[in-house]
Structure 1
Amino acid sequence: MITVDGLVAVPSLGLTYLSGSRGGSRPVTWAHACDLPDPWRWFKTGDLVMTTGGGLPPSPDEQRKWIAKLIDSRVSSLVVALKPGAPAVSPALLETADERDFPVLSASFDLQFVTLARTVIESAVETERERLATIKRLYDVYWQSLHARGTFDARISALEGSIGWALEVRDLDVGETLARGREAARRRASRPEEFGEESVEAPMPGVGNVALVAHPGRRPVQDRPLLQHLGGLIALELEHHAAQRDHLRASGQDLLLGLLDDTVDLSAVWPELRHRGMAAGVVVVCWKAADHAPLNHENIHHDVRLQHLAPLLAYRSSMLLGVIPDDSELLSSLAAKLAGQCAVGLSTPLAASTQVSEAARQAQLAVAQAHEAGIRLVRYCTDQCDAGFLPRSVEDARQLIRRILGPLVEYDRSHDGNLVASLRTFLGNDGGWQRSSDDLGVHRQTLVYRLRKVEQLTGLKPTSTRGSAMLWLALQAADRAQLSLDDLVT
């Protein structure tokens, strides 16, 4: 596309700079003649305005305002070929244009504006022809890269080589890069302080707040329509990729639920984990926010940190369970995105023979210990687990529950009783008799009888400090590790 400098360089046009020569690199998209007093109403970005001075106001102050409005309309430049009797171009107009690097050119009145317009139009037509050829070449290059099954970064690099720009695909919401070509990576590493100074962003349709960012390479980034075409091409792949990730999230949830319910063996799923980018170092993870707050999990599988992974994820009872590689930085960053006070608990590493339901209990106990300790991440059975009041391991929790609550569960089972439910309600209401009996829908004296029975069976008095603490600890251990009392006590 021809620039203002390019027009000045055409000898037959006889154009010279009056001011704003620093803006000579501006591309000129079209050219129009206008002698109306408000030309900014009739032009588009990049247009060249030609005038014989008919609409030019006479006073310097009015000319200053006039040129400021014209510059604000984002036209490329102004060509003045004053006819006899037209107001002279004032120093105030030229000073304003020079301050804003806006080219104002002088031409002889003998110059036929149609000649200048033809030069611009021919350049625009040729530019469009070249753009179409470039777009076709870019589509061919991109298709060949897709067919070669290279990485996303490799395809961006192939486009860089064809178009001469350094390219990045950036998620503007999180400020992270989805893909970066080799030239962009090289320039960012070699000159980080200069990188991005002359970059141009083109929003990519249909893929969230994502933009294609072009930096000058072998050539400057001046053709925004071409950049938008390129962004649309890449957006097609991102849309396809997003649809694939939605499918993998749904199928992964079905697999994980089967593993948690022990209807699917992990050994049968192991090849699928490798297909999803999880070959080794895999754990069960539990993300959970404080006070059972909901997690913003619906689109977490689209996070840029997971673009090379497809973990198994399932949302249950205000917590997100996942089978995912053991990567502390990754897991913590996902926790921060899920909720403000979200912690993460990790199981021991999985093997093909691991029972995933047991690993999930480990992760749930670990995340409870993380919240208790006020830290972001806890691995099951590490030194960090010793800091809290909860049992160290799932097996420790089982033994505690059997020892303390076992007699109550057996009694409820054989007598169709409600001792465990009554105890849980009483402790949950901080020992409030009337509120607890109201919640249970029984007379207060009935609740007194049930808690006496609890004391007889366990040797622990629910109204004493020691008794309430031990009973509450056993109930908490069952809840935090997601252990069923009926399954534990036989």
Structure 2
Amino acid sequence: MISVNQLAAIPSLGLRFLAGASGGGRLVTWAHSCDLRDPWMWCERGDVVMTTGGGLPKDPPEQAEWIGYLIDSQVSALVIAPRPGAPDVTAELLDVADRRGFPVLSASFDLHFVTLARTVIESAVESERQRLATITRLYDVYWQALHARGSFADRISALEGTTGWALEVRDRGAGGEVMFAGRLASDQRSNRVDTAVDPVQIPIPGTGDVVLSAAPGRLPVNDRALLQHLGGLIALELEHDAAQRDWFRNSGQDMLASLLDEVVTLAAAWPALRHRGMTNSLVIACWSSSDGGALNHETIHRQVFLQKYWPLLLPRSAMLIGLVPRDLELLEAMAAKLALDCAVGVSTTLTANSNVAEAARQAQLAVARAHEQGKTMNVYGEDYDDVGFLPSSLEATRRQVRDVLGPLVVHDRTSEGELVNSVKVFLRNDGAWKQSADELKIHRQTLVYRLRRVEELTGLKPTSTEGSAMLWLALSSAERSKLTLEELVD
């Protein structure tokens, strides 16, 4: 479309700036002649308002107020071709126009407004013709890019070549984070090119806070309607991408459940993992919040930092378990998105013969250690900072719990007994018989019988220093591992 500056440059129109030359780049969509006192009621955004001054107030303050109303209506410019007897344009009016960058131009009364209007209309018609041709070309280019089976960024780059604009898809909800970018936009960002013009942004339909950002490249961004068409194309692409990621999330959840339940071996799943972009070192990760609260995991698989991967993710209780690439920065970024106080535990690196259930236990022990230490991450086997005299590995914990508490767990499982809980309550109350019996809601003599049975099964006397110490260490190790006694003993 034609701009105010381009109109002023046409000699036959005889236009000259009275004020607001800084706004000469405004585009003109139509020309409207109006001599009423309230032209803003009859004109549209982007119009050039043409007047002979018939509706212009005489009083300077009223003229300043009048031009303010006209500017607020978002018309593009005012052309005044004063007829005999029309009020003079005051300095107050021009001051307001200059301050707000609103073009006010003068013309001779001999100017036929129809000539100016015809120039604007012809420009608008030609602009629309060019836009339709460009839109057709955009769809052709995009269709060819889809058939070329390139990446989303490749298709955005193809659109950059057609429009001459640097294009990015940004998530304003994530602080303006770039989700996808064309090559031109990427080059501008990496080379820190300053275009001196703010990019034009439009919301992409159906995506919340996601916007399409267009910055000047080979050409200035001067056609918002064309940009809206681009937004529609990209909305379809994002919808397809989201649907694909949802499918991979659901199928991955089933696959990870089968691996954890040992229905499927990791070796059998390895080709599917490569298809999901996970070709390097893989681990099991476990995320949880310090207070055991729920994690915001429902859309974590759509995050920008997971563009290259389709990990296996499975929520269990208040945790999220994942089979993911061993990318510690990525795993911490996921933790930050899941909850404010979320930490992640990481297993040892998997091989084709690894036991996934055991790796998950490692990850759970690691995340428990992370919370104990006030860290956001703990990698199993890489933490050599022993906590007191408790075992520092899952294997050592299982060995200790089996040796000390194993007979009690088996007894309680087969006899529906309460030996483990009775020992736990007795030790927590520092060997106070009455207080422990009251808490267990049993007779004191029943508690005496139970602890004798504990001594018979384990060889450890709960009332002795050695016995209470050994039992307390095993119970504390089990609690610290965040696993049940059944899981540790089996």
Instruction: Classify 1:151/1:263 alpha carbon distance in 2 versus 1 (closer, same or farther; 3 Å).
Output: same
SS in 2 for 1:232: helix
Q: Classify the secondary structure of the residue corresponding to 2:315.
A: strand
**1:6 counterpart residue number:** 6
Q: SS at 1:292's partner residue? A: coil
Conserved 8 A contact 1:369-1:388: no
**TM-score w.r.t. length of structure 1:** 0.92
Question: Could you tell me which residue of structure 2 aligns to residue 392 of structure 1?
Answer: 392
Counterpart residue identity of residue 36, structure 1? L
Change (3 A) 1:445 1:177: farther
Matches within 5 A, 1:131-146: 131-146=131-146
| Maintained 8 Å contact 2:398/2:489 | no
Do the aligned partners of 1:346 and 1:366 also contact (CA within 8 Å) in 2? yes
* TM superposition shift of 1:185: 1.8
Counterpart-to-counterpart distance in 1, 2:438 and 2:196:
66
1:178 to 2:171 alignment: no
| Distance in 1, Cα, partners of 2:431 & 2:336 | 36
Q: Distance in 2 between matches of 1:115 and 1:435?
A: 102
Distance 1:414 1:228, change over 3 A: closer
1:187-216, CA deviations, whole angstroms, 9 ceiling, x for partnerless residues?
Answer: 222235x25742111111112311111111
Long gaps (5+) in structure 2:
none
Partners of 1:342 and 1:120 lie apart in 2 by: 60
Partner of 1:32: 32
Q: How many Å apart are 1:36 and its aligned residue?
A: 2.8
Structure 1 residues 236, 436: closer, same or farther in 2, change over 3 A?
farther
Residue range with higher mean Cα deviation, 405-414 or 282-291: 405-414
**What residue is the counterpart of 1:336 in the other structure?**
336
SS at match of 2:386: helix
Amino acid at match of 1:357: A
Letter in 1 for 2:260: L
Q: CA deviation at 1:388?
A: 6.5
Q: Paired residue for 1:286?
A: 286
- Contact 1:164/1:217 (8 A) holds in 2: yes
* 1:260–1:170 distance in 2 versus 1, CA, 3 Å: same
Q: Structure 1 residues 399, 273: closer, same or farther in 2, change over 3 A?
A: same
Question: What does residue 270 of structure 1 align with?
Answer: 270
3-state SS in 1 of match to 2:313: strand
Following superposition, the deviation at residue 450 of structure 1 comes to: 3.5
Aligned length: 489
Deviation at 1:151, TM superposition (A): 1.7
Contact map agreement 2:478 2:488 (CA 8 A) in 1: no
Q: Show the counterpart of 1:226.
A: 226
Counterpart CA distance in 2 for 1:350 and 1:233 is: 41
What does residue range 452-467 of structure 1 map to in structure 2 within 5 Å?
A: 453-454=453-454, 457-458=457-458
Q: Provide the rounded CA distance (Å) in 2 between the counterparts of 1:341 and 1:29.
A: 53
1:442-489 Cα distance to aligned partner (Å, 9 max, x none): 556645653564466446676899866754553454455465534654
Percent of aligned pairs with the same amino acid: 63
1:347 positional shift: 0.7
CA distance in 2, matches of 1:377, 1:277: 24
Q: Which residue of 1 aligns with 2:242?
A: 242
Q: Is the 8 A contact 1:373 1:387 kept in 2?
A: no
CA distance in 2, matches of 1:218, 1:434: 86
C-alpha displacement of 1:75: 1.5
Alignment check: 8 A CA contact 2:56 2:63 kept: yes
Indicate yes or no: 2:253 matched with 1:253. Answer: yes
Describe the shift of the 1:24–1:450 C-alpha distance in structure 2 as closer, same or farther (beyond 3 A).
same
Q: Indicate whether 1:217 and 2:247 are aligned.
A: no
The CA deviation at 1:228 is: 1.4
* Separation in 2, partners of 1:20, 1:211: 31
Deviations 1:61-93 (A, max 9, x none): 111122122222221111112233322110111
Offset from partner CA, 1:144-191 (integer Å, 9 cap, x none)? 112111122221111111111111111111121111222112222223
Instruction: Output the amino acid matched with 2:450.
Output: R
Quick check: 2:170–2:180 contact (8 Å CA) kept in 1?
Answer: yes
3-state DSSP of counterpart to 2:291: helix
Give a deviation string over 1:84-111, Cα, whole Å, max 9, x none.
3322110111111112221101122232
Tell me if structure 2 keeps the 8 A contact 1:378–1:385.
Answer: no
Does residue 405 (structure 1) correspond to residue 399 (structure 2)? The answer is no
- Given that 2:368 and 2:482 are in contact with CA atoms closer than 8 Å, whether structure 1 keeps it comes out as no
Retained in 2: the 8 A contact 1:196–1:215? no
Rounded Cα–Cα distance in structure 1 between residues aligned with 2:50 and 2:16: 14
Change (3 A) 1:301 1:408: same
- Supply the AA of the counterpart residue of 1:377: M
How far apart, in 2, do the equivalents of 1:315 and 1:286 lie? Answer: 10
Aligned to 1:191: 192
- Which sits farther off after the overlay, 421-430 or 143-152? 421-430
Alignment deviations for residues 269-306 of structure 1 (CA, whole Å, 9 cap, x no partner):
10010000001201000011102111111100000000
CA–CA distance in structure 2, aligned partners of residues 191 and 46 of structure 1: 33
Instruction: Tell me which amino acid in the other structure corresponds to 2:115.
Output: T
Task: Return the letter of the residue paired with 1:172.
Answer: R
Could you say which residue in structure 1 is the equivalent of 2:309? 309
Determine the structure 2 residue equivalent to 1:80.
80
Identify which range, 98-107 or 110-119, moves more after superposition.
110-119
Q: Residue 436 and residue 176 in structure 1: after superposition, are their counterparts in 2 closer, same or farther (change >3 A)? A: farther
Query: Is the Cα–Cα contact under 8 Å of residues 51 and 79 in structure 1 kept in the other structure?
Result: yes
The amino acid that maps onto 1:267 is A
Cα gap change, 1:104 to 1:414, in 2 (>3 Å): closer
For residue 161 of structure 1, what is the aligned residue in structure 2? 161
In structure 2, the CA distance between the partners of 1:434 and 1:93, relative to structure 1 (3 Å rule), is: farther
**Deviation at residue 253 of structure 1 after TM alignment:** 0.2
* Aligned equivalents of 2:270, 2:59: Cα separation in 1: 82
Closer, same or farther: CA 111–197 of 1 in aligned 2, 3 Å: closer
- Does the C-alpha gap of structure 1 residues 422 and 58 become closer, same or farther in structure 2, counting only changes over 3 Å? farther
| Contact 1:188 1:195 (8 Å CA) reproduced | no
Paired residue for 2:100? 100
- SS of residue in 2 equivalent to 1:114: helix
For 1:73 and 1:448, how far apart are their aligned partners in 2? 89
CA contact (8 A) 1:314 1:320 kept: yes
Cα distance in 1 for partners of 2:148, 2:464 equals 72
